[in-house]
Structure 1
Amino acid sequence: MKELLILVSKKGKKKQQLVDFLNKDMEGKVKTTLGKFSDLTIKLDGKKPEVKIDGKDITDFSLVYYRRATDFLSLAGTLSICLDLLGVDFVDTTFRDIGPAGSKLTSLTKLSLAGLPIMPSFFCDREKIEDHADFIISEYGFPIVAKELARHRGRGIYLLKTKKDFEFWRETNVEDQFIFQSFYPNEKEYRLLVLEDRVAVYERKIRTDVKEFRSNVSLGAKEEFIDVEKAPAEMKEIVIKAAKVLNLQIAGADVLIDSTTGKQWILEV
């Protein structure tokens, strides 16, 4: 039997009546489920994305219908990218092309699916953080970095060291959504300015506060500009490719180097 998922911003009596009608009318042929965008989770690990709705794998559905997705435009766009790859039909397909309306999650998803080195990430809505805390801990181990999707320049980033720290969300805005990632020890973080198919600026960001784990200049880090010719070839290659994947002709890319393994991770573009 085929399954239809109707995604809405909020559940209500009329929407549930529609689902009940469809289940009665197509009994034995199609099972219809009503779900909220805020119930979605997305796990990125450089392979196929893992998308779930209330713990149920999105690939269990034959069709996903976005009903009034304007309040979750960027999430609908990100989900569309995932559904295309997973082979799940959805309507309306116009959500594939949200352009600059995309979020950090949209960018990370595109970079991950292109095989670029983004940190393994787990997305969920603010309301669902405590429900998924145990999974996040088991997946990434402490410390864990939590990032608000809507904030920039190092703001809205939290370092979680214990399960109790997961209560941080209570002090955030109701509309907030979060990405969770492993924390990688690092002493070197770089920003590269990409212009078309070349790197024009190469700088190192140096933390000045030993208690600070973020390397944002807006939070006190210093900038050390370095000759572009000294930028590692691999680093230049991945940031140029990242800009192309995101269809950006001018892009600033942040790259972190893991102190333990030496691996280069794209933080953000």
Structure 2
Amino acid sequence: MLDKVIVGSEEWCSFPSLGIPVIKARVDSGAKTSALHATNITPFEKNGENWVKFDINPIQNNLKAVIHCEALLIDKRVVKSSSGYREQRYVVKTLLEIGGSTWEVELTLTNRDSMGFRMLLGREAMSGRILVDPEQKYLLGQPTNEKIKEYYYAEDATKKGLRIGLLASNPELYSNKRIMEAGEMRGHEMHFLNLKYCYMKLDADTPEIHYRGGRVLNDFDAVIPRIRPSMTYYGCALTRQFEALKVYALNSSAAISQSRDKLFSLQLLLNNGVDIPTTGFANSPLDTNDLIKMVGGSPLIVKLLEGTQGKGVVLAETKKAAESVINAFKSLNANILVQEFIKEANGKDLRLFVVDGKVVAAMQREALPGEFRANIHLGGTASVVKVTAEEKRIAIKAAKAMNLKVAGVDIIRSSKGPLLLEVNSSPGLEGIEGATQKDIAGEMIKAIEKNFKWK
């Protein structure tokens, strides 16, 4: 018992292996596990083992002091917070130093912006080593303000890079991880901003965007919106708020909004001289027969206006099947497009990736046997393809018509020449980077640098 360290309910400790010289911890024997505040959490492989890298702002309400950490990953488990919220967290093992004693502890990594402490010391880490006097605080002493400044506020005269936020929903997606990685490799300060954790203050004098826990998202140079279809309305509202704060958005909120409206986007493309497959749109089921005739009869494609990634796209091979599908959708009050079927495409299409007015990569997508639509999300295959000057011209023109700095442009080869199918404002990187071996994420970061004339 005499060998145990006596601590109060709040103490300062350190994590020498992580490069954290001092951090204030809440000592909580009611909590089983220990938790450390972490952002930009990214798993990776090192010497054949699983590791995780993450950032920590060790001082509460201070985003300028940042420590970049790496640790061996030992587990990934579901943890229940004090509020009853269940969350899957990465678990690391590292050295804890407190009161002159050092031992190995397990830590779960989570965003603790909404908590009063960056560190929670739970009973598993204390067992056999610590006694808690809950009426006391800082029994082991406190670092002076001068010492904290020395650790965390060292003046750095040169700005190392731009401060870029990736506005998305899932940090685990290949595309999001690659963008974070590409920005960091080019020397920028990258932050993953989960759409669901952001909220806004609309005010004439001090408009703001807050992050979970009340942290104000200020001092960003740029944001990269990667908005999933189900979050289009809210994601575009957040992007507009960043734009109001004079933060550069790689794709603007207006461009994303119009790209997500399939009918409006097709009308825009036609107005800008881009050819598309003949398309029909109607509200009443009474017009079904003429709608089918309008696009050249069956077989034809029926598309839900709200569908994404190949979902909500149906091939109707006969007139009767077309009538059944169209009327079924109409009975559900669903908005649909009816489009001519390009048989000669033979289940293949092209994805051209446009960044800042240039085609930086292209691939051919081929449908699985028996499928009519090429889609990697639905099991299709991707391969390198040589695209024509005309196809490049169409892709660039389409991105410009939609006012998108970054766009995935889908083109189909027909007997009439190349026809545009769709323009995607948040195109995935995995298929096209894998097929072409090109650093497309890096090209996106370069487009931001160009806007700031960054060298």
User: TM-score if structure 2 supplies the norm length?
Assistant: 0.34
Aligned to 1:147: 303
Distance in 2 (CA, whole Å) between partners of 1:99 and 1:247 is: 6
Alignment partners' CA distance in 1, 2:368 and 2:280: 30
Q: Are the structure 2 counterparts of residues 197 and 99 from structure 1 closer, same or farther at C-alpha, using a change threshold of 3 Å? A: closer
Task: Tell me how far apart the structure 2 counterparts of residues 106 and 98 of structure 1 sit (CA, whole Å).
Answer: 12
Most deviating of 134-143 and 170-179: 170-179
Instruction: Report the Cα distance in structure 1 between the residues aligned to 2:360 and 2:399, rounded to whole angstroms.
Output: 13
Moved more, 131-140 or 166-175: 166-175
Is 1:244 the counterpart of 2:403? The answer is no
Q: 1:106-255 residue pairs with structure 2 within 5 A?
A: 106-125=264-283, 128=284, 130-139=285-294, 140-165=296-321, 166-169=323-326, 172=329, 174-185=332-343, 186-187=345-346, 188-209=348-369, 211-226=370-385, 230-255=386-411
Distance 1:171 1:137 in 2: 15
- What secondary structure sits across from 2:403 in the alignment? coil
Cα gap change, 1:262 to 1:119, in 2 (>3 Å): closer
Cα offset, 1:100, TM superposition? 3.4
Q: Which has the higher contact order (CA 8 A, sep 6+)?
A: 1
Q: State the shift of 1:122 in Å.
A: 0.9
CA contact (8 A) 2:303 2:313 kept: yes
Q: AA paired with 1:135?
A: D
Are residues 1:257 and 2:417 paired?
Answer: no
When residues 99 and 208 of structure 1 are mapped into structure 2, their CA distance, relative to the original with a 3 A threshold, is closer
Cα deviation, 1:169-204, whole Å, max 9, x if unaligned, reads 465483420111110111341101000121011100
Partner of 1:268: 422
Count the aligned residue pairs: 165
How far apart in 2 are the matches of 1:144 and 1:152?
Answer: 18
Q: Aligned partners of 2:289, 2:417: CA distance in 1, in Å?
A: 27
| 1:58-90 alpha-carbon deviations (Å, 9 max, x no partner) | xxxxxxxxxxxxxxxx9xxxxxxxxxxxxxxxx
User: CA, structure 1 residues 168+262, in 2 after alignment: closer, same or farther (shift >3 Å)?
Assistant: closer
Runs of 4+ in 1 over 6 A off after TM superposition: none
> Would you say the 8 A contact 2:288–2:327 is kept in 1?
no
Q: Is the 8 A contact 2:349 2:412 kept in 1?
A: yes
Residues 157-166 or 230-239, more deviating: 157-166
Unaligned runs of 5+ in 2: 1-232, 234-252, 424-455
Aligned AA (1:193): F
Whose helix fraction is larger, Structure 1's or Structure 2's?
A: 1
Contact kept? 2:299, 2:341, Cα under 8 Å: yes
SS in 2 for 1:213: coil
* Counterparts of 2:255 and 2:402, CA distance in 1: 9
Q: CA deviation at 1:98?
A: 6.0
- State the match for 1:41 in structure 2: none
Unaligned runs of 5+ in 1: 1-73, 75-96
Give the 3-state SS of the residue equivalent to 2:320 in structure 1: helix
- Residue 100 (structure 1) aligned with residue 259 (structure 2): no
Alpha-carbon distance between aligned partners in 1 of 2:360 and 2:351, rounded to the nearest angstrom: 11
State the distance in 2 between where 1:135 and 1:118 align. Answer: 20
Q: How many angstroms apart in 2 are the aligned matches of 1:121 and 1:243?
A: 20
Distance in 1 of aligned mates of 2:350 and 2:255: 26
User: Equivalents in 2 of 1:171, 1:133: separation in Å?
Assistant: 11
Please tell me whether Structure 1 or Structure 2 has the larger radius of gyration of its CA atoms: 2
* Aligned equivalents of 2:255, 2:395: Cα separation in 1: 19
Aligned partners of 1:133 and 1:163 also within 8 Å: no
Q: How does 1:46-85 map to 2 (within 5 A)?
A: none
- 1:64 is aligned to none
**1:161 CA displacement:** 2.4
Question: Aligned residue for 2:36?
Answer: none
CA distance in 2, matches of 1:243, 1:158: 26
SS in 1 for 2:281: strand
Out of 195-204 and 131-140, give the one that drifted further.
Answer: 131-140
Secondary structure of 1:124's match?
coil
**Identity of aligned pairs, percent?**
30
Decide whether the 8 Å contact of 1:255 with 1:266 is kept in 2. Answer: yes
